Amino acid sequence: MSEPMNPSEGLTESGPAPEATPASEATSLSEATSASATSSASEATSASGTGASVNDPVSEAAPPVNEPASGTGASTAGIPDDLREAAFERQRRLRQESRFPGGPAIDPAGSHHERRIRSFQPRRSRVTPGQQDALLRLWPLWGLDIDGQRVLDLPEMFDGLPVVLEIGFGMGEATAQMAADDPGTGILAVDVHTPGQGNLLSLADRNGLTNIRVANGDAIILLREMLAPDALDGLRVYFPDPWPKKRHHKRRLIQPEFLDLVAGRLKPGAVLHCATDWEPYAEQMLEVLTAHPRFENTAADGGYAPRPAFRPLTRFEGQGLDKGHVVHDLLFARV
């Protein structure tokens, strides 16, 4: 669960990560020319689309090959086309190769599904050794890439438990807490933030939580292509990116089209639970949800709901409350 970009961050897509592991060094194209046309680029991931096209949080993206590297004054003028193309191809391959063999893919949906307006903000940050270890050890057991190529068998995946989808979990502390407090519910947690994925896997392992699965990629593709009708017992969207600028409001996740999709995947009576500390976004959420014919407000007065006990008060939320932020919870049942 990430913090809202106020304009600090948004939850689809995630909280800050700690210490850095060394990132690969970017080599300028002019250096590549003098070094037998080899160029080294840092890895980028592509966040399919929940929001975000993903650039790998492990390292900074390399500059485009036809532009000078930032601050170096490097120029591509006079570089032969074959060397330019070789450098470009090497950077393309590096962006497609995962830093964690057997771990989350760079762009799990690839070109199988259309690109669209992203509802999440790509974030680049470092992966700690502990997070890397969790990704390498646990991703094959508890992780999945959102490739849009199959329909998930949730009862098999969660040993028959009811399943709640959480879109955007940041560093995963709140998700792990909810899983520990309610071991009878499976949580399918989706994010594109590699350090957060590793951190949540580490928390699940450390606390013996077997009711968490971590999904990497675009939640929209997951909902549309990989979940059967009426597959979910709930959906949680905590502190999504509010996209505060008016011209970016179209990127907000909670829109009528999103609710149409969600309504087809939630069981009757299942609850969509949203939370935000961005007042204008809370107002839009309430308006859009109230107007949708397949959702009904569980709050008796038709407004916001008190924070339910099962949603933990996170450290970031506490800091916001100390600054006078008001957090709004919205709980709407699928009719």
Asked about 241 being catalytic, the answer comes back as: yes
- Retrieve residue 334's tokens: 């699928």
Q: Where are the beta strands (DSSP E) in 88-247?
A: 143-145, 163-167, 186-191, 212-216, 232-238
Catalytic residue among 230, 241, 301, 322: 241
* Angle value at C-alpha 75, between 70 and 76, nearest 5 degrees: 120
- Integer Cα distance of 195 and 183 in angstroms: 24
CA distance from start to end of the chain: 27
Helix (H, G, I), strand (E, B) or coil at 77: coil
DSSP 93-130: HHHHS-SSTTS--SSTTTTSS-----SS-----PPPHH
- Retrieve residue 333's tokens: 């049942």
Only one residue has tokens 């592991």, namely 21
Going by their DSSP bridges, the two strands 295-297 and 266-276 should be labelled as unpaired
Total Cβ atoms within 10 A of residue 303: 11
Cβ partners under 8 Å of residue 97, min gap 6: 43, 106
Q: Where are the beta strands (DSSP E) in 112-185?
A: 143-145, 163-167
Q: Could you give the residue numbers annotated as active site?
A: 241
